[in-house]
Structure formats: C-alpha cells, structure tokens
Amino acid sequence: MALASEAPKESFRLSMLIYDTRYRSMTIQVVVLILVLLFVGWLADNTIQNLAAKDKDINFGFLWNRAGYDIEQQLIPYTNDSTHGRAAIIGLLNTLVVAFFGCVFATIIGVFVGVLRLSNNWLVSRLMTVYVEAFRNVPLLLWIILVFVVMSETRPQPRDFRVTDEMIASGTEPAAKMWFWDSVAVTNRGTDLPAPVLDRGLGSIDIGSVPVNLSVLLTLAVIVASVLANRALLRRARAIQEETGERPVTWWKSLAILFLPTIALLMALGFHLDYPVFKGFNFQGGISVMHSFTALVIALSLYTGAFIAEIVRAGIMAISRGQSEAAFALGLRPGRTMSLIILPQALRVIIPPLISQYLNLTKNTSLGIAVSYLDLRGTLGGITLNQTGRELECMLLMMLTYLIISLIISSLMNVFNSSVKLKER
C-alpha cells in the first residue's frame, strides 16, 4: 500500500528574495530603509561639512546662556537674566495655552454653527453659511491682525479710567468705566482681570528648574476625583434604572460631588480675588492679559471653528434620517434627539478630520509673531535665534517640539476615537 509523503521542502536561494512573494515585500522594505538611512547620513554629513566650512558646529550650549530679553506674558517666573532654555519653556507654555483655549472655543463654535447650518430656519442657516464662507476664505493672518488692531485702537487709554477728587466733587464721570461691577478693565494695552490669590497656599517645588504649585496640583486632583466620583454615581444610577426601571434622582448629588469638595478646599486655602485698581499711570494688581494673546485666541477659534462647523455638518448628514424620524416618533424633542442620538453617532465621522483641525490650530499659533506674541516661534525661533546665531539648532528644536505636541494630540484623540467607534464582535 502506497503512503502519501510530504513534498520535500525547497531549499532557500537568494533569488527567492526577489521572485518569491513570501520574501519580496520584506526585501523591498529593507532596501528602502537602507536608502533612507543613507540619505539621512549623507544629509547630516553634508550639513556638518558646510558648518565646518563656516567655522560653526552643532552645539546646544547656548540654551544655558543669559537670554537678555523680556517676555510680558509668562506662566512661570522669568526675567531677562534667565537662560535661553527657560525662555524657550516660557514660549512653549504660551503656545500650549493658546492651543488649549483655541481648541476648546473652536470646538464649541464649530458644533454650534454646524448644527445651526442644518436649521429649518432660512435666516439662521444663511447667517451661519455667511460666517463659514467668510472665515474659511480669508487668510488666518489677516484675521489675527484685524482683531488685534480693533482691540488696540478702539479701546480707551488707561488714563481715561482715572477718577480725581475734582471729578468726584463735580459729579463728573470718567471717560471710560470698568466692566462687571468694576472688576475688568479693557484698555488699549490689554485686559486687566481679577487674579485668584491664596492666603494659605501650599507653596511650590522645582521640577527641572520649573516651579510647580502644590496648591494648583491639589486643586486639580480634587477636581479629577470629583469627576470620577460623579461618574461612579451615574453608573450606579444607570444600573438601578436597568434593574428596576426607575432612575433615582441624582442631580443634586452630582452638583454636591462636583462642586462642594473644590469649594471647601479653596476656602481652606484662603481663596479670594485680587481686583485690578488704577494707580499712577496704569492698573495695578489682578492679571494683565495682552491683546496679542486675546486676538490670537479669538482669530484661531473663529477661523478653525468655521472648518469644524463643516465637519460637524457633514457628520450629522452622514447619519440616516430614519434615526431622527424614529426619535420623533418616540416623542423626543429635536434638541434631545440631536444631543442623545445624532451627535453621538456622528462622532465616528467627525473625530478623524477634527484631529487634523486641532493639529492645524496648534501649528498656526506660530502666526502670533505677527502681533508680537512671544510663543515658541517668537522666543526660540525668533529672538533666541537672532541673538545666538544658532539657526540650525533652534529650527531642529522647534520642529521636534511641534512634532511631539502633534503626536500627543493625535494619540489622545485616537484613544477617544477608539472609545466611540462601533464595537465589533
């Protein structure tokens, strides 16, 4: 009786790296990788040779030299005696602050406008269309300059807020008044806001020469813990509803969990507001926000919000109309239908292009140099570069920093995208 035996295995030959489909893709990848590495090596060697021809080298020691210039807006202590490295950190923090507020406001504007563009009200939908087309088709730099000029030229000078004894005696009003019960002053120099102050703060610690406020960390920890506790409360209420059919009342418990711990902590730390007061030739106390920062946030929010509005509109239109009709048949109002049924499903379509808009907004913060806002581009890529003459090092550091920020934003948004996508079995 003849028994079938396995076919003899073919021995490996070098020609199989090209002609065998099992190895061809790996061969191509290895060849491409070698070519890329050779190109990078040639580029680095060519750069070093050109620098040597000009008596230059690649040296990042300038980061520890004295900066010698002032930065008006700073989140951590800084003087002109600080190093260029610290100035770069200040610029990075300024970039992150603008990017954070810009993304938040642009998202709010984009969702609001995107929903209203689909309104049955002809006037409302056309007004939103005008906004979208106006901001999408005008360069962002022009909007930044326009907002900055309007805020700088239309607001009064600080001296217009002066109140003298003669004015009080004659009952004469000053040329300009503060807003919100004399707590906010908007002048041609900037906006003066009340500053939060703690009488019994916990101090700070230095991490890599960067001071970290322990009171702020504790407050953030309490806020995060409150949010997690509220989510646990809502999960328990949902479980009870699924089990008994009745949902317990949780709104007052949620308010207590979310706000009472933070309020109690702030009271224990002696929280109060330091209001700006006009003294001498300008306002003293409070927080002074430059118009360059305000103009940059407003322009970025409105400009990016126009693109996000179109993304939101497309995401909503991608959802079958039958979803809305089924919700209406169940008695849900249009607002609840949009927030509970349409938008959650539309997020799967909205989030991928939304990531690109967040990345664009973060990189567009570099346009703040046009209105003298010293972010990463203005410090490391501007004044530091001109003072030290280290063009290559400054550009490499800026490119690496923007790359890391973009990768972090993409990773966080991709995690959120994975949490809302359809779960397959």
pLDDT tens digits in sequence order for the chain, 425 residues long: 455 555 556 676 777 777 777 778 888 888 899 999 999 898 888 888 887 887 777 888 888 888 888 888 888 888 888 889 889 999 999 999 999 999 999 999 999 999 899 888 889 999 999 999 999 999 999 999 999 999 888 888 888 888 777 777 787 788 788 888 888 888 888 888 898 888 888 887 877 666 778 888 889 999 999 999 999 998 898 888 888 878 788 888 899 999 999 999 999 988 888 888 888 778 888 888 888 999 999 999 999 999 999 999 988 888 888 888 888 888 888 778 887 888 888 888 888 889 899 999 999 999 998 898 988 998 988 889 898 888 888 899 999 999 999 999 888 888 877 776 666 55
Task: Say how far apart CA 253 and CA 258 lie, in whole Å.
Answer: 8
Alpha-carbon distance values, 421 to 107, 234, 324, 337, 351 (Å): 20, 22, 20, 19, 10
For residue 387, which amino acid is it? Answer: Q
**Positive or negative CA dihedral for 81, 83, 84, 90?**
negative
Number of domains in the chain: 2
The single residue listed with the structure tokens 């230059």 is 56
Q: Could you say which of 245, 274, 303 is where a domain stops?
A: 274
Residues 258, 152 share a domain:
no
My answer on whether 252 and 142 are in the same domain is no
Tell whether 88 is covered by a domain.
yes
Q: Tell me if 80 sits within 8 A of 214, measured CB to CB.
A: no
Burial of 239 (0-12, 13-18, 19+ CB in 10 A): exposed
Judge if 330 and 375 occupy the same domain.
Answer: yes
Residue 258 lies in a domain: yes
Whether residue 359 lies inside any domain: the answer is: yes
Question: In terms of domains, do 302 and 352 share one?
Answer: yes
Task: Judge whether 170 lies within some domain.
Answer: no
**Is 110 a domain residue?**
yes
CA geometry: angle 151, 88, 362, nearest 5 deg: 55
Residues 425 and 312 in one domain: yes
Alpha carbon separation from 19 to 9, 13, 24 (Å, rounded) = 17, 10, 7
Instruction: Give yes or no: residues 203 and 141 share one domain.
Output: no
Domain that holds residue 234: 195-274
Q: Residue 260 is which amino acid?
A: L
Question: Do 252 and 229 fall into the same domain?
Answer: yes
User: Which residues face 207 on adjacent strands?
Assistant: 210
Q: Are residues 268 and 295 in the same domain?
A: no
**Cα-flanking dihedrals φ and ψ of residue 204, to 5°?**
-150, 160
Q: Please check whether residue 13 lies inside any domain of the structure.
A: no
* Same domain, residue pair 211 and 233: yes
Type of residue numbered 42: W
Q: Residue 321 to residues 189, 327, 337, 338, 408: CA-CA distances in angstroms?
A: 51, 10, 12, 12, 36
Is residue 42 domain-resident? no
Q: What is the CATH number of the domain that holds 111?
A: 1.10.3720.10
pLDDT at 52: 80
In a domain, 47, yes or no: no
Question: Are 425 and 309 contained in the same domain?
Answer: yes
Residues 239 and 385 both lie in one domain: no
Instruction: Please say whether the beta carbons of 368 and 377 come within 8 A.
Output: yes
**Domain endpoint, select from 240, 274, 308:** 274
The pLDDT of residue 5: 56
Domain boundary among 233, 251, 274: 274
Q: Indicate whether 295 and 421 sit together in one domain.
A: yes
pTM of the model: 0.82
CA distances from 24 to 15, 30, 38, 55 (A): 10, 10, 21, 46
